[in-house]
Chain A
């Protein structure tokens, strides 16, 4: 195991985060805070609670998930796309590192960054809306599992993308809609029965439901199902990454 290489890649990626602090930490925190102010404090005070949870508190887990997903994907995809774009990937490819070590470095850094971000947003949310966390360990576990899974997904997108447009395409056209429709702002039981069924094909539903359960002990789907579905998505991403390195897809001629 080339620990030095994992550490080198991890530090390099984290250094990029601190260099671009405004863009990578401050801006998502501000934009999420706007949601808390508008939907939580302002509009939320005029709405009924859901499942006995005030609306402002109800949307907290979903909004953290929204940031976690988009940031994990964009961090990890950009982290591996950029060396491909400028050509510095030659060094990674010619180094004595295994695919596992490369992924551990890039995905580890992207996931760390979005976990830090998630915790900052969580603390910020407390300033606007009161909420409690019933299962803090489960909360952290969901945070970790989601950050790792979607950083892997981002890594795949970064390898697949051969221009900047594609890099943005999946997060904008797929992930954001799925998150909004995944129950960030409502319980899926508020949907008509047909759409409730359709929604179950949206993987983000399971993430948000499980995460919200860790806060308030209420969920749209069973917590075991949430963990299971996330694990399945994680396994799919791992299989794709394995295939990428085996075949050299978009990395090696």
Chain B
């Protein structure tokens, strides 16, 4: 199937000479949730802004559902909804008016039934006559999502949707994103809450210093790079790792109280059984043990550090 967004050799150099993006190639699949990860200033927002028409590309092309976003901007943009990172709203407009405005702006005839549905889905219906200035930050965030959905887009960009949002709203938003995906909408979100990408995304792209350093299925990524760690809390501290255990990838904590063993979760033989036997033979007792699978966060940090 044809990808819904195709980015080819995209580059952006700002007037200041800053290279925000370098030779980005990316395909977004129809109907997926794609998470774009990266530290602040990596180029996530620039990439989104180019696709949505807010920033001009310096080189390369972007197709949205087959339409070039520069040459055929009308057709391309009509398919896209954008929720930007900053909470920017017209203070004195009512919720209803601002959402209806967005629908008109995107070239759709008024449809009160659709606007009502969007507002109800986002728990904004009771606030429809309120002016935006009277709403809380979380409510404003919902309004911005409602505006982006007002014209029934096929592609939704969420730029840091849950920055500064409380737990409840974050859960609501995740539920909403899943519900949207169920209706066939493709969703691209940027985040630096890795837990969010881990929870939501089908695929993950990591962007760092303007380069797309990785695009991978989330599950595969976590399998491939996922490491497990076994931590043993010792009965009595050790000064150093005993010679009998020298062949193992072990680390001793600074206070000598903990031994950390890293192994491949996918491997046939994790080696835990042998290690524990050796420990017993060496007379090292432990009072507690725990294992931990590395999270996407660890993977991400190590990826970015490798490049740094």
Q: Report A's interface with B, CB cutoff 8 A.
A: 2, 4-5, 7-9, 11-12, 15-16, 19, 86-88, 90-98, 248, 252-253
Let me know if B300 is at the binding interface, CB within 8 A. Answer: no
Q: Report B's interface with A, CB cutoff 8 A.
A: 14-15, 49, 52-56, 73-78, 80, 82, 84, 86, 88-93, 97, 100-110, 147
A4 CA / B100 CA spacing, docked (Å): 11
Is the CB–CB distance between B105 and A9 below 8 Å?
A: yes
Is the CB–CB distance between A96 and B107 below 8 Å?
A: yes
B20's closest neighbor in chain A, by CB? A253
Identify the 8 closest CB pairs spanning chains A and B, nearest first: A8-B104, A87-B88, A96-B77, A94-B52, A96-B74, A4-B104, A2-B107, A96-B78
Is the CB–CB distance between B107 and A90 below 8 Å?
A: no
Whether A88 touches B54, Cβ cut-off 8 Å, given contacts A94-B77, A96-B78, A97-B105, is: no
5 A-B pairs besides A2-B74, A16-B92, A96-B76 with CB distance below 8 A are: A4-B109, A90-B84, A95-B77, A96-B74, A252-B55
The contact sample of 26 A-B pairs, CB cut-off 8 A, is A2-B107, A4-B106, A5-B104, A5-B106, A7-B104, A8-B101, A8-B102, A8-B104, A12-B93, A12-B101, A86-B89, A87-B84, A87-B86, A87-B88, A90-B84, A93-B53, A94-B54, A95-B77, A95-B105, A95-B107, A96-B73, A96-B106, A98-B74, A252-B56, A253-B49, A253-B56
Q: Which of B52, B76, B100, B107 has a CB less than 8 Å from the CB of A5? A: B107
Q: Which of B54, B75, B92, B104 has a CB less than 8 Å from the CB of A19? A: B92
- Distance from A42 Cβ to chain B, minimum over Cβ atoms (Å): 40
Is the CB–CB distance between B56 and A88 below 8 Å?
A: no
Is the CB–CB distance between A91 and B56 below 8 Å?
A: no
A88 CA / B84 CA spacing, docked (Å): 10
A96 CA / B74 CA spacing, docked (Å): 4
Is the CB–CB distance between B55 and A96 below 8 Å?
A: no
- Distance from A103 Cβ to chain B, minimum over Cβ atoms (Å): 14
- Distance from A91 Cβ to chain B, minimum over Cβ atoms (Å): 6
Residues of B within 8 A of A87 (CB): 84, 86, 88
Is the CB–CB distance between A91 and B55 below 8 Å?
A: no
Residues of B within 8 A of A248 (CB): 56
Residues of B within 8 A of A15 (CB): 93, 97
A86's closest neighbor in chain B, by CB? B88
A4 CA / B102 CA spacing, docked (Å): 10
A19 CA / B100 CA spacing, docked (Å): 18
A133 CA / B86 CA spacing, docked (Å): 53
Most buried by B among A5, A12, A96: A96
Whether A8 touches B105, Cβ cut-off 8 Å, given contacts A15-B97, A93-B54, A96-B78, is: yes
A12 CA / B89 CA spacing, docked (Å): 13
A97's closest neighbor in chain B, by CB? B105
- Distance from A105 Cβ to chain B, minimum over Cβ atoms (Å): 9
Residues of A within 8 A of B14 (CB): 253
A97 CA / B78 CA spacing, docked (Å): 9
A7's closest neighbor in chain B, by CB? B104
B51's closest neighbor in chain A, by CB? A94
A116 CA / B155 CA spacing, docked (Å): 42
A123 CA / B219 CA spacing, docked (Å): 73
A102's closest neighbor in chain B, by CB? B105
Whether A90 touches B82, Cβ cut-off 8 Å, given contacts A19-B92, A95-B106, is: yes
- Distance from A10 Cβ to chain B, minimum over Cβ atoms (Å): 10
Is the CB–CB distance between A94 and B82 below 8 Å?
A: yes
A86 CA / B87 CA spacing, docked (Å): 9
Is the CB–CB distance between A90 and B88 below 8 Å?
A: yes
Residues of A within 8 A of B78 (CB): 96
A93 CA / B108 CA spacing, docked (Å): 17
Residues of A within 8 A of B93 (CB): 12, 15
A251's closest neighbor in chain B, by CB? B54
A94 CA / B150 CA spacing, docked (Å): 14
Most buried by B among A11, A16, A93, A248: A93
- Distance from B147 Cβ to chain A, minimum over Cβ atoms (Å): 7
